[in-house]
Amino acid sequence: NALLLEELLPRIGDHHVLLPHRIPPNDGGIAYGQVAVALARMRCS
């Protein structure tokens, strides 16, 4: 993944790309997203 990112970044130009820095990709990021959605729903009700 690091090699892919290293090769990709110079080629994307001015496009805005979100990269995982503090939230891990894969299962950890999915769980974080589920918590964020649940919290948003609780705040709306």
Amino acid letter, residue 6? E
pLDDT tens per residue, range 2-38: 888 889 889 988 888 777 778 877 888 889 889 999 9
Alpha carbon distance 11, 42 (integer Å): 41
Listed by start position, the domains of the chain span 2-44
Alpha carbon distance 16, 9 (integer Å): 10
Alpha carbon distance 2, 5 (integer Å): 5
Q: What pLDDT score does 44 carry?
A: 93
The single residue listed with the structure tokens 């001015």 is 14
Better pLDDT: 29 or 1: 29
Alpha carbon distance 23, 29 (integer Å): 6
Q: How confident is the model at residue 43 (pLDDT cuts 50, 70, 90)?
A: very high
